[in-house]
Structure 1
Amino acid sequence: MKDGSALKKPQAMMFDMDGTLFETETVLLPAYHNTFEILREEGLYHGDTPPDEIILSCLGMLLEDIWTRVIPGAEPRTVARANQLLLDLQVDGMKAGTSRLYPHVMETLTYLHDQGVRLFIASNGLEGYVKGVVEIHQMSSLLEGVYSAGEYQTASKVDLVRLLLDNHDITSAWMVGDRSSDVEAGVKNSQTVIGCNYADFGDTSELDGSDVIITSFDQLRRLYDEAQ
């Protein structure tokens, strides 16, 4: 990891959810398999469940783009049902206590909050899912805002981040995330990008263009302390 001495201390930090704060696969994969079981039972899908690697490679994408890749050519009613099932089953998994944040997430967010950094979520996920993670893992008191593509109907994370920055009069922020969409969102909004390289999915080349890459979430604290 590079040091943070070349970075400017931000007014705010914006965090992706899946693969950055939240160990998505702890609830995603069971929900994914159950979703296809129900779709088959309801006659909305025929055939084997697509491989786990496909859904994991889609994390960070907009939901409509995910289903285009997972079940190309599916009828709209199948996609709509799959959306609802996947959301409900993941929230059920979280409520059952099977989900996890990455190590050191809460301690690091608490430290940054105590330093006066304004903290936000910026995710391409569904509103109920993103807010469910925040609620169940008790992050609400640390966050000034939770932005999801599902709630704001943005076409890209670039647009979502622009909306967040404008709504909260933020001129200096760090975009913290693990996918190319996070890098693009930070760069195209002229903000610093901290790439996260500790999830087991995704291609590390997706983080090309990041100002700094971290391999553990708690390294963010050191970067902030060293920033000017």
Structure 2
Amino acid sequence: MSQALIFDMDGTLFQTDKILELSLDDAFNHLRELDQWDTETPIEKYRKIMGMPLPKVWETLLPGHSSELREQVNDHFLERLIKNINSGKGALYPHVEEAFSYLTEKGYSIYIASNGLTEYLQAIVRYYRLEQWVTETFSIEQIQTLDKADLVKTIIEKYSVKKAVVVGDRLSDINAAKENGLASIGCNFDFAREDELSQADRVIDDLIDLKTIVPALDQ
């Protein structure tokens, strides 16, 4: 039996899309108030780079702005994300609770490895009471390289994991599995791309499918 399942958060467990546009608009309205932005909010550009660590996101969205301003926008964005989570404007994907309950009952340990920031991840875990199933949530902030493969390695080393499956929607999740010698399950959800999912060992359209897919990977 696999000892662990390591889940991505955004676009895998949490429907980030429900609060993304609201929060991003707020962040760019802040820039407009500072006379640092005068066009539309680059929501589609952000969708294409979902999964990147936020420092990389702001480098991409604001290439001509100072690092100090990017940090200011990042702080504002994070504040709005958390407010929207706590206001109930977000949502988990269907069947997260059912899948987690089943997997823990079968003896699997569950971890989260995300490119999201710690405070943001804690807000989601707390609001949806995921701590009842999740052993620990790991943020990309915890490692210097900002490489998800290294973050997954941190989990493996801390908990002496011998066998695991990484579940996520983007190539960074699939590569994190490969670089650590683990199996991967791609989630064909909102931000997923077909060319990236094709590199996963298995692909699912609903988290409830984990009830059959995970045991099959153990055989």
Is the pair's TM-score, using the shorter chain for normalization, greater than 0.5? yes
Match of 2:53 in 1: 62
Match of 1:88 in 2: 79
Note if 1:120 corresponds to 2:98: no
Q: From 191, 204, 222, give the equivalent of 2:194.
A: 204
Letter matched to residue 16 of structure 1: D
Aligned length: 218
Correspondence for 1:160 among 129, 133, 151: 151
Shift of 1:56: 1.3
Paired residue for 2:29, among 37, 40, 49? 37
- 1:181 is paired with a residue whose SS is helix
Q: 1:100 aligns with which of 83, 91, 102?
A: 91
Aligned residue number for residue 195 of structure 1: 186
For the residue of structure 2 that corresponds to 1:40, the secondary structure is helix
Deviations 1:152-191 (A, max 9, x none): 3442001111111011100100000000000100001000
Higher RCO structure (Cα 8 Å, ≥6 apart):
1
Q: Which residue of 1 is the match for residue 7 of structure 2?
A: 15
TM-score (norm 1): 0.91
* Ranges of 4+ aligned residues in structure 1 off by more than 6 Å: none
Q: Contact between 2:24 and 2:41, CA under 8 Å: does it hold in 1?
A: no
Aligned to 1:4: none
Query: How far apart in 2 are the matches of 1:123 and 1:18?
Result: 8
Mapped contact 2:143–2:150 kept (Cα < 8 A): no
Matches within 5 A, 1:140-151: 140-151=131-142
Which piece of structure 1 moves more, 165-174 or 215-224? 215-224
User: Would you say the 8 A contact 1:126–1:151 is kept in 2?
Assistant: no
1:24-78 Cα deviation digits (max 9, x unpaired): 01111100001111122134x2211333111111211111211122111211121
Distance (whole Å) between structure 1 residues aligned to residue 179 and residue 11 of structure 2? 21
Q: Distance in 1 between matches of 2:128 and 2:71?
A: 27
Q: Which residue pairs with 1:49 in the alignment? A: 40
Matching residue's letter, 2:5: M
The answer to whether the Cα contact below 8 Å between 2:4 and 2:165 also exists between their aligned partners in 1 is yes
Residue ranges of structure 1 left out of the alignment (5+ in a row): 1-8
Select 1:214's aligned residue among 204, 207, 213. Answer: 204
- Percent identity at matched positions? 33
Aligned-pair CA distance for 1:205: 0.7
Q: Which consecutive unaligned segments of at least 5 residues does structure 2 have? A: none
Aligned residues of 1:57 and 1:202 also touching (Cα < 8 A): no
